[in-house]
Chain A
């Protein structure tokens, strides 16, 4: 049997002998591999951004907001009719075993002033449970103390964007800022979280004790009012079982009769994220398989050209057989040629694909992230396509009879 080095040099010579044809043949593979890489990178990027969202959102999260939902399930202007109290959250945390933490939230937009600098941002009244749920640590300073929360202390924890806007490079700790004209002492600065997947700045926010918000900053319609409650369940499964229990408990606390609609809306964020993640997985598979079809079509192109090549080189095959080439020598020669052709195509395809991914992630709104697997997969797929579609022409060549092949014109 013929050695590998010679086999490859024969294949390379045949490919070089027909340069333009070889390039056109591998074009199908090039486009296929590039398309698969780009599509998988886009799908992968979508999944990664969802995973990042899940990380900043906290795990196993439900929210409850004031508002009504129609029977069709469409939410109608939630939060317009305030109904939630901070005590509702405490009751949920206490009485529903699936729920581990409940953080009340009361927020509004307000003007912040420090010296000459002013900045308009979201001011949220809450307590320390919120940071615990979001797994959000301080860059420096401290969280709210028990007395801060109890006595409606005028203290504030800043997001890093707000620090930049109001203080520049100055140390904000212990300084006083005015929120709606009321002086607040800065007690802490949160770690930077960056942009969320929908592009909003998660660090453009300030937190004050809930009691302070309720009593001094944000107008409320009834005592202890909040706009929403963020809940953390003990695990993902519990988010589903907790939902019904929360509904029952809240309906009871809000004295809603059988005929009355809910005056609150429960959203299972974990469930929504899981759905988003699943649909992006489906999308990745879908995009990848559509792109794979072009790779397959590229393989058919290779088969087509190899068949032409076998016919064209019938005399060459005859000569090789006359001189002692066995059927496997001939098969190997054409298989190697198809394989080399598709692997060269695959390699160029990888290069084009990576450039494509770079272009997409720099010049479009899609996030495209390549992982090594998503390069190896289409590259080895291109090799398999070459072998698969090269086999038939190679087999056909090996069946030739030496004397008829030699006489072929």
Chain B
């Protein structure tokens, strides 16, 4: 069985009485240890799909089976548990807690996993070091640049050692040099630690790091190919 199985996933929003169909029947399986890039034009439904995959949102219809569990049948608290234990999520809009230092933001997933404070602090420091932000540990989000905030969000997603990492345009605010650093980090997590990584990107250069590239157009999978030349 695959780690992720999507069967005919549809998502629509009701807007002024009209059904706005965003996802129009997505079928997809992703194996454990895969590194997948999702590409597609703006508004095609990539983030919507990621939110469903990340157990944050529920599809209007269709089945999502994650690690053998039918997501539809789980309670909000069980979903929270899965998000906490199995998933690291990098949001497109960072979603850091305001008035909370970088290190405390990174600690947050471990707070809800009841990890001891000492261990929490050490792991958070390590994660921030990996994204090159050790010197900014005690800065508040509004004292950080967009790229720095994005890296805090990445640190938060990898800190809990979740087997699944979802990253919605994780390099959107980074310069080329920093983007390469982050992609190297993801590659390392994928190749050496066996984490499954699914990321959304607009850039061919970034997608080139993945070993599978899925293109979404207008809420449907347009192409799903093995990357011929992995970086």
Which A residues fall within an 8 A CB radius of B? 1-3, 5-6, 13, 17, 315-316, 318-329, 401-403, 406
Which B residues fall within an 8 A CB radius of A? 51, 54, 56-57, 76-77, 80-81, 83-85, 89, 91, 95-100, 108-109, 111-114, 117, 156
Which chain B residues lie closer than 8 Å to A5 at the CB level?
117
- Complex Cα distance, B98 from A5, in Å, reads 20
With A315-B95, A324-B80, A328-B77 already in contact, 16 other A-B pairs whose C-beta atoms are closer than 8 Å: A1-B114, A2-B112, A3-B114, A5-B117, A322-B54, A322-B89, A323-B108, A323-B109, A323-B112, A324-B84, A324-B113, A326-B77, A326-B80, A327-B77, A403-B56, A406-B95
Which chain A residues lie closer than 8 Å to B83 at the CB level?
322-324
Interface of A is mostly: helix
- Complex Cα distance, B56 from A327, in Å, reads 14
The listed residue (B54, B57, B89, B114) touching A2 by CB distance below 8 A is B114
Which chain B residues lie closer than 8 Å to A316 at the CB level?
97-98
- The answer to whether A2 touches B111, judged by C-beta atoms less than 8 angstroms apart, is yes
- Complex Cα distance, B228 from A22, in Å, reads 60
Give the one of B84, B89, B91 with max A CB within 10 A: B84
Which chain A residues lie closer than 8 Å to B56 at the CB level?
322, 402-403, 406
- Complex Cα distance, B91 from A255, in Å, reads 106
Task: State how many angstroms separate the Cβ of B138 from the closest Cβ of chain A.
Answer: 14
Which chain A residues lie closer than 8 Å to B91 at the CB level?
322, 406
- The answer to whether A13 touches B97, judged by C-beta atoms less than 8 angstroms apart, is no
The listed residue (B99, B112, B113, B156) touching A320 by CB distance below 8 A is B112
- Complex Cα distance, B80 from A1, in Å, reads 12
The listed residue (B51, B57, B96, B109) touching A324 by CB distance below 8 A is B109
- The answer to whether A319 touches B95, judged by C-beta atoms less than 8 angstroms apart, is yes
Q: A402-B56, A403-B56, A406-B56 are in contact. Are A325 and B112 (CB under 8 A)?
A: yes
Which chain A residues lie closer than 8 Å to B96 at the CB level?
319
The chain A residue sitting closest to B99, CB to CB, is A17
Which chain B residues lie closer than 8 Å to A402 at the CB level?
56, 80
